[in-house]
Structure 1
Amino acid sequence: MKKKRERCGDASHTKSLFLLKTSFKLSLKDMTPEATENERWCVVTGGRGFAARHLVEMLVRYEMFSVRIADLAPAIMLDLHEENGVLDEGLRSGRVQYISADLRDKSQVVKAFQGAEVVFHMAAPDSSINNHQLQYSVNVQGTQNVIDACVDVGVKRLIYTSSPSVVFDGVHGILNGSESMAYPIKHNDSYSATKAEGEELIMKANGRKGLLTCCIRPSSIFGPGDRLLVPSLVAAARAGKSKFIIGDGNNLYDFTYVENVAHAHVCAERALASGGDVSTKAAGQAYFITNMEPIKFWEFVSQLLEGLGYERPSIKIPAFVMMPIAHLVELTYKLLGPYGMKVPQLTPSRVRLLSCSRTFDSTKAKDRLGYAPVVPLQEGIRRTIDSFSHLTAGSQSKREGPSKASRILGGGKVADTLLWKDLKQTLIAIFILISVYYNFVATGSTIVTALSKALLVASVFLFLHGILPEKIFGYTVEKIPASQFHLSKDSSEHLSLSVISSWNTTVKALRSLCQGNDWSFFFKVVFVLLALSLAGAISLHNIFVIGIPIAFIAFIVYEKKEQEIDSIVVSFKSFACKRKSDVYEKLFGSKKHD
């Protein structure tokens, strides 16, 4: 096997390389000549996941194996930072392969594992998706397929990525937990429960037709490439939600830098490959993997936020106050999830995780696997902050051009008024509307009488304003020029063309409606007419009391929460379209078949 060393300017990374090379020495020394001459393959399931990507790059960089990445996507798409890197070079040289495989289909798994010596089983659904059917089909049934495929094609070693949550009941904190802890009667969520079932399958499979297995339980992984922890923290900070601490803020946690997690998998594989007592002691076991540096959860969060330029959380909210809200959010997701709603960050299981202590003892991994962190906690935090420089407070992108709310309102004085862009103008408008309400609407006037009174007041004002001298007591009275009321020829033509265009569009629409072929258009017309009839029934009083305050609040709220509101609208549209399709199918499906 050829050995290549890549230059690296990072001293700590060079130290990591040295420790990794040292951990490989025993197994490399014991390899047979045949093994070193032949190409040796390993498979990483879920190889495009967060921790899995780091493991793949580590395996490729140190040329332990040729690596086959198995994941759901039909083809591999490299991120920008991966192009021209270790993975890109491996794919071009053939030392890295990608294969699309669904663990729920055993035939696909068998195909992916052909010729492999080792399998790192890291695939799993998003832990925040509390969907038992999905979690069970992948974490349990998929894991059974992985085991069976390993046995069928002669894989020698199987390392399973589990989770410390398999021993967490969601209620009681864990301090310095060891592998002797039993599974709880009830788990915190479906992810934890099915991970525990998958872990049991892996350990029971140890020794089956020579297959050696073990389980890795990395605690709270973080680092470059994370798509959950840091992005969600930044999103909360930008939305002003990162000020809050759930619980008393003293709960301890074991966080694990992602490179240490990859290193732990390598250590596990080397231990299983060593033979003799080392393999015997390592196989069929589960191991907690941490940075071996417990820290207060909210201190860790604060260091990340501060490093990215945001404020530290400071306001403490008891967990029992947040739980009802989290249950409501989870219920909403269950209803709207099928129609496109994004997975919420605030769930009951996450509230419990944020308020409990969770630290674990990695002594067993140290003794049996030879594991020790290669990147200290503070160094890992620094690297993570550096990797997310594009999410710092100073780099928050500003909206280019006017907001959608401003465009809806026409982008003129009306938009500036309703969006509170010009505070003086907005307050004047509110004062005028209040005056109009008390003088015309509250008196019980109809629309016609209110309009007549308004025109009367305007006429009197304009007449008095016209007869006033240009100066009164030294103050200049600005006269309203006649041009303010003059409609130019161009404006007249534009107005006429607009009216004609609207008329022609209406006639065209009526012609289409009369043909009776476009049911979709018919339902739209009916809906609009119903909406107009309802709007016509609204009194002038209600327009002022309800409509105008909503206008001054709704548009500014939409401008601030545009993405969230658009997401809800899209979800509703998807739901409505699905129901509309169902109605069409019921009404006209049978006619088509006839």
Structure 2
Amino acid sequence: MEAVAAEDGWCVVTGGRGFAARHLVEMLIRHNMYCVRVADLGPTIELEPGEQLGVLGEALHSGRAEYISVDLRDKAQVLKAFEGAEVVFHMAAPNSSINSYQLHHSVNVQGTQNVIDACVEQKVKRLIYTSSPSVVFDGVHGIHNGSESLPYPPSHNDHYSATKAEGEALVIKSNGTSGLLTCCIRPSSIFGPGDKLLVPSLVDAARAGKSKFIIGDGNNLYDFTYVENVAHAHVCAERALASDATVSEKAAGEAYFITNMESMKFWEFMSLILEGLGYERPRIKIPAFVIMPIAHLVERIYKLLAPYGMKVPQLTPSRVRLLSCTRTFDCSKAKDRLGYEPIVTLQEGLRRTIESYPHLRAENIPKTKREGPSKASIYLGSGRVADTLLWKDKKLTFTTLLVLIAIYINFIASQNTIVTALAKLLLFSSIFLFIHGFVPAKILGYTVEKMPTSWFHLSEDMSHQIALSVASSWNLAVDGLKSLAQGNDWMLFFKVVLSLLILSFLGAFSLQNLYTIGLTFAFIAFYVYEKKEEEIDGIFLKMHSFGCKLISDLNRKFLSSKKVD
């Protein structure tokens, strides 16, 4: 690619702080093609440490680049951003994982129309639009070596793809309007250094133990594109449109698939990244039809809880389809009309990508060593109960389990009445105490510990403490009832209602089921909590925050409706 003197020519990169756009901005500056105007939503540009000392930082300092805050939905802002520009690279788009029609339509369709109108009014010569291969994907049928002759499907996989197709159609239709030349680039599955979605989400899944799963049969092929090749494709498109009439007429008004021209299995690509960072490769295959109902449920929950701060989930129906279908594309048209060929191989791109994430490597996972007893141990009193339920003393744990199982068989499973069960318990206790009392202190070399009578004695202090505890509990309950009767404490009301609902739910279970569930919970839940303390605490904090916000919103709505009445 030949470098062209920038002189005073300006180009604009919308969404210029995005992943692929950053690489394009640096390429344009590095090859001295244009002075670059970086347009994005942020009020100011915040450079990362590597950028401050790099080509972008230097260009901003020297005036060869500048930043402008732009919302594409505001045409006046777009017009101002395009003043004096010769070329516009329209790369801005919302996060594709947020499946919101209103958001995507406002940016990908209405925003793109504003970009086209501003290009015409400001007499911009060339417009290159960053589209997506998903514009021809219906979410059901795979695409093998697809060409640009593929039509838009009747329905798309998600709102992002559908609105991208609308935006692309607008750009192609505008070609030739007032001398504006346009074309559309469809880069497939971009990866590389600086990506904040693919690699970080893979590593998060690996650290959470979720990366072992393969959705589908694992044989679906994919075309991945190294981010520098994507930037190079945009430059090739711009150079083709700027060429003589024969070349520009052939290149303009068209869409082009862009890939690394090295198709491979999707899950093999993911495995190479994970292995390169020191994690295990996926190995357990789950059919897509099994995971799809769960994905639909997750998406519905997100729609309900998104207003309360729930993050966009990784498991959505559109993503399941993307992960299990074949999607490969033919780049012959881009090679013929734009002169595009990858400048970085897939293997080299993978190497550079893996090397750019040293902080995400498996050996760099921070090792947190707990100091002192765990919360689970503290909640259980840090004594014999804690040692039993947390499996610290395995002999004690198994002995306790045997005793509890014996109680279950003799008193619970037999479905005795309460009186019969108590009588049996007292009978067995009496027999045990009598036998334990007359056996010698040593039998066949084994020492038999005798139970001191103090175990069964209730001192005056202990009696006094029990009485005070009962009285205190009674007074707290009465105070709660008084507060509830005043009708002012909504938080208390919701707590009481929730507690009674839980109690009524538990009351629906038989004693046999409650005993079984309670035992299982006690011997598993505390043990799991001790091992995953931070993760579980984090979940409970999020739930508590959500609950508080929900109650606050309900309370505010109730009070406002009360004032209206």
Give the TM bin, normalised by the shorter chain: 0.7 to 0.9
Is 1:24 aligned to 2:2, yes or no? Answer: yes
The change in CA–CA distance for 1:77 and 1:406 in structure 2 (over 3 A counts) is farther
Residue in 2 that maps onto 1:521? 492
- Write the distance in 1 (CA, Å) between the matches of 2:528 and 2:159: 36
Residue in 1 that maps onto 2:278? 309
Residue in 2 that maps onto 1:200? 169
Residue in 1 that maps onto 2:399? 428
The change in CA–CA distance for 1:443 and 1:233 in structure 2 (over 3 A counts) is same
Contact 1:42–1:116, Cα closer than 8 Å, also in 2:
yes
> What amino acid is the match of 2:26?
E
Of residues 566-575 and 51-60 in structure 1, the stretch that sits farther from structure 2 once superposed is 566-575
| Pick aligned residue for 2:343 from 363, 367, 374 | 374
Is 1:279 aligned to 2:248, yes or no? Answer: yes
Residue in 2 that maps onto 1:585? 557
TM-score, normalization: structure 1? Answer: 0.79
Using the TM superposition, give the Cα deviation of residue 417 of structure 1 relative to its aligned residue in structure 2, in angstroms: 4.3
For residues 482-533 of structure 1, the C-alpha deviation after alignment (integer angstroms, 9 at most, x for no partner) is 8988999999999999899978877876776676643433443454466567
What is the correspondence of 1:45-60 to structure 2 with a 5 Å cutoff? Answer: 45-60=14-29
The change in CA–CA distance for 1:202 and 1:407 in structure 2 (over 3 A counts) is farther
Runs of 5+ unmatched residues, structure 1: 1-22, 29-34
The change in CA–CA distance for 1:251 and 1:458 in structure 2 (over 3 A counts) is same
For residues 163-220 of structure 1, the C-alpha deviation after alignment (integer angstroms, 9 at most, x for no partner) is 1122223333333322233223333332222111111111122222232222111111
Residue in 1 that maps onto 2:332? 363
Residue in 2 that maps onto 1:166? 135
- Write the distance in 1 (CA, Å) between the matches of 2:508 and 2:499: 14
The change in CA–CA distance for 1:135 and 1:425 in structure 2 (over 3 A counts) is farther
- Write the distance in 1 (CA, Å) between the matches of 2:292 and 2:506: 40
Using the TM superposition, give the Cα deviation of residue 472 of structure 1 relative to its aligned residue in structure 2, in angstroms: 1.9
> What amino acid is the match of 1:574?
F
Residue in 2 that maps onto 1:212? 181
- Write the distance in 2 (CA, Å) between the matches of 1:49 and 1:572: 34
Q: Secondary structure at the match of 1:44?
A: strand
Using the TM superposition, give the Cα deviation of residue 50 of structure 1 relative to its aligned residue in structure 2, in angstroms: 1.8
> What amino acid is the match of 2:255?
A
Contact 1:106–1:149, Cα closer than 8 Å, also in 2:
yes
User: Paired residues, what number?
Assistant: 562
Contact 1:446–1:540, Cα closer than 8 Å, also in 2:
no
The change in CA–CA distance for 1:392 and 1:465 in structure 2 (over 3 A counts) is farther
Residue in 1 that maps onto 2:261? 292
> What amino acid is the match of 1:266?
V
Contact 2:308–2:549, Cα closer than 8 Å, also in 1:
no
Q: Secondary structure at the match of 1:24?
A: coil
Contact 1:513–1:522, Cα closer than 8 Å, also in 2:
yes
- Write the distance in 1 (CA, Å) between the matches of 2:458 and 2:87: 82
The change in CA–CA distance for 1:424 and 1:157 in structure 2 (over 3 A counts) is farther
> What amino acid is the match of 1:70?
A
Q: Secondary structure at the match of 1:160?
A: strand
Contact 1:340–1:571, Cα closer than 8 Å, also in 2:
no
The change in CA–CA distance for 1:92 and 1:315 in structure 2 (over 3 A counts) is same
Residue in 2 that maps onto 1:113? 82
> What amino acid is the match of 2:550?
K
Of residues 265-274 and 140-149 in structure 1, the stretch that sits farther from structure 2 once superposed is 265-274
For residues 343-368 of structure 1, the C-alpha deviation after alignment (integer angstroms, 9 at most, x for no partner) is 33333333333333322222332333
Residue identity (%): 69
Using the TM superposition, give the Cα deviation of residue 109 of structure 1 relative to its aligned residue in structure 2, in angstroms: 2.5
Residue in 2 that maps onto 1:4? none
Of residues 456-465 and 166-175 in structure 1, the stretch that sits farther from structure 2 once superposed is 456-465
> What amino acid is the match of 1:205?
S
TM-score, normalization: structure 2? Answer: 0.83
Using the TM superposition, give the Cα deviation of residue 593 of structure 1 relative to its aligned residue in structure 2, in angstroms: 5.7
Of residues 303-312 and 507-516 in structure 1, the stretch that sits farther from structure 2 once superposed is 507-516
Using the TM superposition, give the Cα deviation of residue 141 of structure 1 relative to its aligned residue in structure 2, in angstroms: 1.3
Contact 1:466–1:479, Cα closer than 8 Å, also in 2:
yes
Contact 2:186–2:257, Cα closer than 8 Å, also in 1:
yes
For residues 537-562 of structure 1, the C-alpha deviation after alignment (integer angstroms, 9 at most, x for no partner) is 87654431333323434455666597
Residue in 2 that maps onto 1:16? none
Runs of 5+ unmatched residues, structure 2: none
For residues 367-410 of structure 1, the C-alpha deviation after alignment (integer angstroms, 9 at most, x for no partner) is 33332222111011111122233333333344553777666656
The change in CA–CA distance for 1:275 and 1:395 in structure 2 (over 3 A counts) is same
